[in-house]
Amino acid sequence: MVTNVTNFSRSGLYDWMAQRVSAVVLAAYFLFLIGFLIAHPGLSFADWSALFQQNWMRIFTLLALLSGSVHAWVGMWTITTDYLTPMALGKWATGVRFLVQAFCGMLMFVLFVWGVQILWGI
Amino acid sequence: MNSQRPVNLDLRSIKLPITAYTSILHRISGVILFFGIAIMLYGLDLSLSSAEGFAQVQQCMSHPLVKFIVWGLLSALLYHLVAGIRHLVMDLGVGETLEGGKLGSKLVLVISVVLILLAGLWIW
């Protein structure tokens, strides 16, 4: 049996919802960003920098980073609980899975803080 | 559960349905994107740091290997996006039957291949 103390919200239903809501935010963000880049073929530093100096763009990007953190956690949790099991790894599975999940969480936290530094360091 | 039951998880001897392929690709593209965030943030950091940094990113983007990595990341993003939209559509109760699931998987593959090729044209 796989214990579920490491999932995002202690509830599969909330995890499901968090994954969907964060997915919609991420879809909107990347479609906007790709659309912006397509609409500005000869993009200059001034235009690019001006975009990220807008407060709404910083908020939108921070929201995307937050959504990315939630989305990545739910996704990586699902994958690790599916594949890093006692059937695949034997008796060390729980420890290995926990360490991999801890690594994913740490990495996501570092990326999030880095993103905040980029956004407010302009 | 009887733990002595035979278990076959040898992927080479299992014939997977098309829905399994789109599902595992969704997972693989998700893992690629998770680690790709670091590359995206590095590019964002450098491009916003100064005009010189921005020019450096532009110069990097002319390198074939960098173009290939960016295309790879964009491909993962586009596939994950299309497959994710299919999930949302299925959450609304559309395409949940066996036939609907197979058709949805085919649509995901066709649409994402077209988008990935267009992304390749855009980058090169």
Chain A residues touching residue B45 (CB < 8 angstroms):
114, 118
In chain A, % of residues over pLDDT 70: 96
Q: How confident is the model at residue A60 (pLDDT cuts 50, 70, 90)?
A: very high
Q: What is the pLDDT of residues B44-103, one digit of tens each?
A: 999 999 999 999 999 999 999 999 999 999 999 999 999 999 999 999 999 999 999 999
ipTM: 0.91
Q: What is the pLDDT of residues A14-23, one digit of tens each?
A: 999 999 999 9
Q: What is the pLDDT of residues B3-23, one digit of tens each?
A: 678 777 777 788 889 999 999
Within an 8 Å CB–CB cutoff, is residue A40 touching chain B?
A: no
Fold of A12-120: 3 helical TM bundles of succinate and fumarate reductases (1.20.1300)
The radius of gyration computed from the CA coordinates of chain A, to the nearest angstrom, equals 18
Instruction: Answer yes or no: is B1 within a domain.
Output: no
Tokens of B104: 């949805």
Ordered by start, the domain boundaries in chain A are 12-120
Q: Which residue has the tokens 């956004």?
A: A119
The whole-number pLDDT of residue B1 equals: 56
Q: Which residue of B has its CA nearest to A23?
A: B84
Tokens of A45: 């530093």
User: Does position A86 have pLDDT exceeding 80, yes or no?
Assistant: yes
Residue B51 C-alpha, separation from nearest chain A C-alpha, in angstroms:
6
Instruction: Answer yes or no: is B111 within a domain.
Output: yes
Taking Cα atoms as reference points, which of A22, A27, A110 lies closest to residue A66? A22
**Residue-number span of the structural domain to which B29 is assigned:** 18-123
